[in-house]
Amino acid sequence: MRKPIVAGNWKMHKTAEEAVDLAQAIAPLVAPSLTSCDVVLCPTYTSLGAVHGVIGGSGIGLGAQNMHWEGEGAYTGDISPAMILTSGCAYVILGHSERRQYALESDEMINRKTLAALAAGLTPIVCIGEQLEQREAGRVEEIVIGQVRAALEDVEVDRAPSIVLAYEPVWAIGTGKTATAGQAEEVHALIRSFLTERFGREAADAMRIQYGGSVKAENAEELFSQENIDGGLIGGAALQADSFAAIVKAAK
Ligand code: 13P
């Protein structure tokens, strides 16, 4: 019922030239999957225009990795919703754990960004996920649902279906330690039930929840076959065309 969505978060990798090469290699490999899976590439800001030149019109989506919530102003080093929109983006990753950790982004900031993205007509990919100590302390539900609740404050029901959530347990990011399909599905089901309470069944059933954290070609199929896992947000394995395409293929 929900179309899966697989996004490559290229993080701070690839110059514009390298990003163009990667996008060119990925495009033909994922083209056959586009009817059954939304595919999004998220290079860094300086490569957005160049990558748009490669994938514009191909059906592959373009996303930024962050943005400011204000429309414009004295925010040195920041970038606005309109700036990324006019660079060809339809998506924007918000609240990634690396931004929460290194740029000290708070739930409140992520909420403002989410509302700004929706207002601009961008699809936000809102990241949530617990740290290892929080999992070990039995606080997964409290942390993850708390982050979802805060990020989606003041979101109206009719906008909810265009939001993508990405559950990324922090301990699984870049560590090679993937959550098992069962562990991930358990949290995705909790998120879905919160969304049902918050927005009602119809909207909640339409919202896509990606899994992220050490997704590879070898584990993607099992993860993506879970009832509440609607694709993935891919880091390391998205930096190579073959492995990214194999992950896209696993999402049906
Ligand atoms: P890895 O796939 O490298 O673990 O990164 C996941 C991630 O953070 C995607 O946003």
Hey, which residues are catalytic here? 96, 168
Domain count, the chain: 1
Q: What is the pLDDT along the chain (252 residues), one digit of tens a residue?
A: 899 999 999 999 999 999 999 999 999 999 999 999 999 999 999 999 999 999 999 999 999 999 999 999 999 999 999 999 999 999 999 999 999 999 999 999 999 999 999 999 999 999 999 999 999 999 999 999 999 999 999 999 999 999 999 999 999 998 888 889 999 999 999 999 999 999 999 999 999 999 999 999 999 999 999 999 999 999 999 999 999 999 999 997
pTM for the structure as a whole: 0.98
Residue-range definition of the domain harbouring residue 166: 5-250
Task: Locate the ligand 1 atom nearest the alpha carbon of residue 175 and give its number.
Answer: 4
Distance of alpha carbon 193 from alpha carbon 181, whole angstroms: 18
* Predicted pLDDT at 80: 98
CATH number of the domain where residue 179 is located: 3.20.20.70
- 168 ligand 1 Cβ < 6 A: yes
**Residue to mutate (ligand 1; options 40, 93, 173, 211; most atoms within 8 A of CB):** 173
Residue 1 has what pLDDT?
Answer: 81
Ligand 1 atom nearest residue 127's Cα: 10
Q: Which residues pair with 92 in a beta bridge?
A: 64, 124
Distances (CA, A) of 191 to 112, 169, 185: 20, 13, 10
Among 11, 92, 170, which residue has the most ligand 1 atoms within 8 Å of its CB, making it the best to mutate? 11
